[in-house]
Amino acid sequence: MFHTAFLDLPALDGAAGTVDLPGSKSISNRVLLLAALSEGTTVVHDLLASDDTRVMLDALRQIGCTVDEAGSTVRITGLGGHAPRSPAKLFMGNAGTAMRPLTAALALLGGEFELSGVPRMHERPIGDLVQALRQLGCLIDYLGNDGYPPLRIAHVQGVPSLALTEPIRVRGDVSSQFLTALLMALPLAAGTQSIAVEVVGELISRPYIAITLQLLERFGIVVEHQNWQRFTIVAGSRYQSPGSVHVESDASSASYFIALGALTTSATGQKGIKIQGVGLDSIQGDIRFVEAARAMGAVVTGGPNWLQVERGAWPLKAIDLDCNHIPDAAMTLAVMALYAEGTTTLRNIASWRVKETDRIAAMATELRKLGATAEEGADYIRVTPPANVADWKAASIHTYDDHRVAMCFSLAAFNPARLPVRIEDPKCVAKTFPDYFEALFSVAQVETSHIPVICIDGPTASGKGTVAAAVAQRLGYRFLDSGAMYRITALAALRAGFAIDADHEARIATLAQTLPVRFEGGKVWLGSDDVTEAIRTEEAGMNASRVSALPAVRTALVDLQHSFQRLPGLVADGRDMGTVIFPGAPLKVFLTANAACRAERRYKQLISKGFPANIDDLRADLEARDARDTSRSVAPLKPAQDALVLDNSDLTIEQAVEKVLTWWQERQPFAASAQR
């Protein structure tokens, strides 16, 4: 996941390949709650791991369920008729699928609970659900504003006697989650009598009710319904764990990759995007996004657990669609509309206004930033793409802590004007798809020379490694510590059983070309081994110098270093990054500091690690090394012609990092104010 303030996506050329998508949020949170209410243990396979499921799992533990997590398999032992542990304060984040159903379930289980969430959750309505529960006789207080979380369920003395003879009336036109919540909770009270629920007003997002009914059935509960208006939970209902449940991949998350397949072609001749984990027979309503994508021109085929998407009509065809049945995936259509001929209208989406943010306003605002014309109404959005290629603008997309805004606007990186797109606060995707951008990069294609590289070269102990790593971290870019390459190669060669000599030169070179090296979190990784310490020994230094004398290895390492230039970008630190390895880099920094200052830094570093050191000797060594480095005939240490020199003798690390970031920012087409 990218924890950076923003993530810059360079203009992307195409996409092809296969993606495995994470589990469905709607299925995951329903299954977790149903398992918690059941008797017995449920093993849930392929559960979504994200913020929304995290808050549900934490809450279930707090109320006394046993939850064992092993990767994506989670075992839950339900309450099975026992009272939940109470009192408890439960934090629901911004998960509607946790907040609403848990409120109803806890009200019917008895006990004292406070349910709260992030500030936006406290602006998302729950009044219709609370009103329905109060109708039954439940005691629920608002702790903030009437009609909104946080709230308190005050069943200290157990569940009060409930008024179950009359149908329970609940509004269906604000969120279907109120009805889902009642349908999941009421079986707890339907032991001896049937319970009816009547929907008042139009029922929106109806396919989500279908998911609820399907999953209830898996847990032994039969709900009959008349025309989706009146629902009856049959008397004698009792939650029974099905033993194990498999969660299919998220159909709403699939929408971004279906769109990607519809938008892009591949330079390598590979055809389209294959999505694994969800297929045309999905129980999730958002699978009907496929129909909308097809209407816009996508060619989609699929089987039970997979989808294959290729570009068909191009440009895409504009559509005019009632999107009430696919409220989440429909946001993706608004961005696909940028690539359509004509104006696309998405209707009947009033619920967008009470989700993670006011999504109609957010989408319209951000689409306009890209140069599109967007018109919004109370329950619709109308999008006309930029008239000409030259009308596209490089935009910094504000994401409003809304995962779907972040994910769908990433698709703007395929714009014909070849402009980069900045996604602010990319970590908001954690709500349902923490590794979204990694998944996107795994299939996105871009000519290597278009992937940004920042080179930070400089003499020894100038602080370039620290500064470069920090810059990479701030931008979410990859990091290459080229100075460590020979050490790592030597270590890998010895581990592979090769002596470091001319006889093994070819084999070491082959090995070097594809070394699985990563620099992450201040550590150096060789495959899954942390070799940070192992490459810093004196012996490793000597081996590195022997390996560097082998010309074929030097050549192989150039290829290896080039291979670090991958999405979303690279910060490379070394001595010849800007001059030799990445001569086309758009920003080259030559980081220096005077010898006295560098000697002092090295001295402090050594002393802090418990090594003896003498500052005068260190300084003399550094000066001698500088003289050697700058005068040697092969790749002498010197700033690239177009490098910016940064003397950081009098700067803190943070100041040096800021300086480099400012230079980088000045080269971006986004507004300067958008940097943080």
Ligand X SMILES: C=C(OP(=O)(O)O)C(=O)O
Which of ligand X, ligand S3P, none binds 404 (CB below 5-8 Å, type-dependent)?
Answer: ligand X
Q: Which of 8, 286, 328, 573 is catalytic?
A: 328
What is the torsional sign of CA 534, 535, 540, 541? negative
What is the torsional sign of CA 371, 372, 373, 376? negative
CB 291 within 8 A of CB 302: no
Among 9, 11, 21, 95, binds ligand X (CB under 6 A): 95
24 binds ligand S3P (CB under 6 A): no
Which of ligand S3P, ligand X, none binds 324 (CB below 5-8 Å, type-dependent)?
Answer: none
249 binds ligand S3P (CB under 6 A): no
User: Residues 525-564: x/- map of binding to ligand X (CB under 6 A)?
Assistant: ----------------------------------------
- 665: exposed, middle or buried (Cβ count in 10 Å: 0-12, 13-18, 19+): middle
Q: What phi and psi values does residue 108 have, to the nearest 5 degrees? A: -90, -5
Q: Is 404 annotated as a binding residue?
A: yes
Which of ligand S3P, ligand X, none binds 204 (CB below 5-8 Å, type-dependent)?
Answer: ligand S3P
CB of 208 to ligand S3P, least distance (A): 4
DSSP assignment of 345-379 equals: EEES-GGGGGSSS-HHHHHHHHHHHTT-EEEEETT
177 binds ligand S3P (CB under 6 A): yes
CB 236 within 8 A of CB 258: no
Enumerate residues 6+ apart whose C-beta is below 8 A from 306: 274, 275, 276, 277, 278, 279
Which of ligand S3P, ligand X, none binds 208 (CB below 5-8 Å, type-dependent)?
Answer: ligand S3P
Q: What phi and psi values does residue 114 have, to the nearest 5 degrees? A: -115, 130
Largest Cα–Cα distance in the chain? 93
CB of 6 to ligand X, least distance (A): 22
Q: Give exposure, 476-486, as e/b (b: 16+ Cβ within 10 Å).
A: bbbbbbbebbb
Instruction: Enumerate residues 324-363 that contact ligand X by CB under 6 A.
Output: 328, 355-356
Instruction: Enumerate residues 147-176 that contact ligand S3P by CB under 6 A.
Output: 175-176
425 binds ligand X (CB under 6 A): no
Residue found under tokens 């490098």: 643
97 binds ligand X (CB under 6 A): yes
Could you tell me the two tokens for 647?
């003397």
Single-letter amino acid code for the residue at 537: T
User: Residues 141-170: x/- map of binding to ligand X (CB under 6 A)?
Assistant: ------------------------------
Q: What phi and psi values does residue 380 have, to the nearest 5 degrees? A: -150, 165
CB of 229 to ligand S3P, least distance (A): 16
Among 4, 94, 97, 561, binds ligand S3P (CB under 6 A): 97
Enumerate residues 6+ apart whose C-beta is below 8 A from 581: 455, 482, 558, 561, 562, 572, 574
CB-wise, 150 or 172, nearer to ligand S3P?
A: 172
CB-wise, 432 or 561, nearer to ligand X?
A: 432
Please work out the total of residues on this chain that contact ligand S3P, with binding judged by CB under 6 A: 13
Q: How far is CA 544 from CA 414, 539, 573, 637, in A?
A: 43, 8, 18, 19
CB of 383 to ligand X, least distance (A): 19
404 binds ligand X (CB under 6 A): yes
CB-wise, 129 or 587, nearer to ligand X?
A: 129
Residues flagged as binding site: 25-26, 30, 96, 124, 175-177, 205, 328, 355, 359, 404, 431, 458-466
- Interface residues with ligand X (CB under 6 A) are 94-97, 328, 355-356, 404, 432
